[in-house]
Structure 1
Amino acid sequence: MKLQEVYLQGNGFEGAIPDDFGNCTELKIFDVSDNFLTGSIPRSFGKLVKLQDLRLGNNSLGPIPDDLGNCTELKIFDVSYNFLIGNIPRSFQKLKLQDLRLRNISLVGAIPDYFVNYTELTNLDISRNLIIGSMPRSFGKLVKLQTLNLAFNRLSGIIPVEIVNCYD
């Protein structure tokens, strides 16, 4: 299929995202944010190796499939305001994200150590979750970071001075 961009945000779509979108191998942008979608994020999206921008925010979608780690061209990933209780899949360490929005999705555990590998990251929003532990000192290596939102979690300890290294 030749479909490269899908913009369906801000409508009244209900039900599940059709698994068949995973067959659109030329797909680069997929935005279904601000709808009433339910169910799981299709595992078939892991076949979308050209996918660069995936926006699923403000729906009622289930867990982040491990297969999304195969989308190595993914630059923008927004699943804010969904029901994705749990952790971010370990397969995400292969990605080269620039904009990562995981706001209010009931994430648990510590901030993954591999976030420091997102050297092109300009925006990181993991606010309003159940993140515990401390803020990684390694965030100082994210020199392109412009926005960091860790608000309303359960972080503790010190604010690492290394964070002021986030400049060119």
Structure 2
Amino acid sequence: MRLNNSLQGSILLARHNLTELRNLELDVNNFTTIPNSLSSCSELEVLKINLNHLDGPFPTAICQLKFLQHLDISENNIGGILPACFSPPHMRYAKLSKNRLQGPLPHAFFNWTRLQILDLSHNQLTGPIPKWFDNLSILRILLLNKNHFEGEILSQFCNLSELSLIDLSNNSLSGSIPPCLGNITFTPLLGNLGLPRSGVVLRAQDIMVEELIESVTKSITLVYRGNTISAIDLSCNNFAGHIPPKIGKLFHLKSLNLSHNSLSGTISITFANLTAQRT
């Protein structure tokens, strides 16, 4: 079910005839609220309500969608703290960017072991990046930029061996850049990102990765296509110390941005290995 119009008001869902609905796309409208009756769509796997006018706290009705795999509620006015109940076990793609979310990341995210893309950018999230992030072992894309995260990047973060792109820019992170980031290959994202039971293939091209993966480097906006995503952006933070030589061995990287920090020392000769070209 897809509605891309100028509809407005509340989303009205009839309890008696949507129990088998698996794909609901209401993006690019003027809806303002998500009803509690959304929880009756118990088989829902894809929910897109981005680019609306949703207001208030995170809709707890979404917590009841146990089969949800693809969620996009970006570019709304949803505020407050993410509830602990938000922990769908099958989630693969979550885009909550450009809202007004606040507070630390809930421990419930620990259970998102199938997650491959997480976009929480352009919010007001605070606190450190949690230790449990390494439980997201197949995460490919992580966007936490333009929030208020602080503290150091912990070594557990380096266990995200499947990463293709990480953007932590425009936060208040500090400490040194972990040398173990050089152990992640950052190979370009290729192929299928999952197959929900409804038959909707979550490939890069199907989930608007071009909109998702947008990075501003030196006032130049870079938009990565599905098969060229491979980047690290740690700019506009408070990182100090030297740049680990291991970073220079990430020859798959298409983009590396460490600007606007307090880094010092020399640049290792290993950085001559960064020869990949952005296409």
TM-score (norm 2): 0.58
Aligned residue number for residue 130 of structure 1: 172
Query: 3-state SS of the aligned residue for 1:107?
Result: strand
Note if contact 1:86-1:108 (Cα within 8 Å) is conserved in structure 2. yes
**Residue aligned with 2:124, SS:** coil
Bigger RCO of structures 1 and 2 (CA < 8 A, at least 6 apart): 1
Residue 45, structure 1, aligned to residue 129, structure 2: no
The one-letter amino acid paired with 2:242 is I
What amino acid is aligned across from residue 170 of structure 2 in structure 1?
Answer: R
Are 2:131 and 1:90 aligned?
A: yes
SS at match of 2:163: coil
Paired with 2:106 and 2:75, the residues of 1 have a C-alpha distance of 20
Contact preservation (8 Å) 1:29, 1:51: yes
CA distance in 1, matches of 2:114, 2:49: 21
1:8-23 aligned at under 5 Å gives the runs 8-23=49-64
**Residue of 221, 232, 235 corresponding to 1:148:** 232
Alignment partner of 1:120 is 2:162? yes
What CA distance in whole angstroms lies between the structure 2 residues aligned with 1:34 and 1:16?
A: 14
> Is 84-93 or 130-139 further displaced after alignment?
84-93
Percent pairwise identity: 30
> What residue is the counterpart of 1:62 in the other structure?
102
Report the Cα offset of residue 85 of structure 1: 1.2
Runs of 4+, deviation exceeding 3 Å: none
Distance 1:93 1:102 in 2: 15
Distance 1:49 1:67 in 2: 10
Query: Matched residues in 2 for 1:100 and 1:165: separation?
Result: 21
2:153 maps to which of 111, 118, 128: 111
- CA contact 1:66–1:90 (8 Å) conserved in 2: no
Aligned-residue RMSD, C-alpha: 1.3
Report how far residue 18 of structure 1 moved.
1.4
Structure 2 unaligned segments of length 5 or more: list them.
1-41, 188-229, 253-279
Q: Tell me which amino acid in the other structure corresponds to 2:239.
A: L
Q: Tell me if the contact between 2:47 and 2:71 (Cα under 8 Å) persists in the aligned partners.
A: yes
The structural deviation recorded for 1:11 is 1.3
Once the two structures are overlaid, the 10-residue window that deviates more, 62-71 or 88-97, is: 88-97
CA contact (8 A) 1:21 1:44 kept: no
Greater radius of gyration (CA): 2
TM-score with structure 1 setting the length: 0.94
Letter in 1 for 2:171: N
For residues 64-83 of structure 1, the aligned pairs below 5 Å read 64-83=105-124
Q: Say how many residue pairs are matched.
A: 167
Per-residue displacement from partner, 1:9-61 (whole Å, max 9, x unpaired)?
A: 11111111211211111100111111111111121122x11001111111111
Alignment match, 1:163 = 247
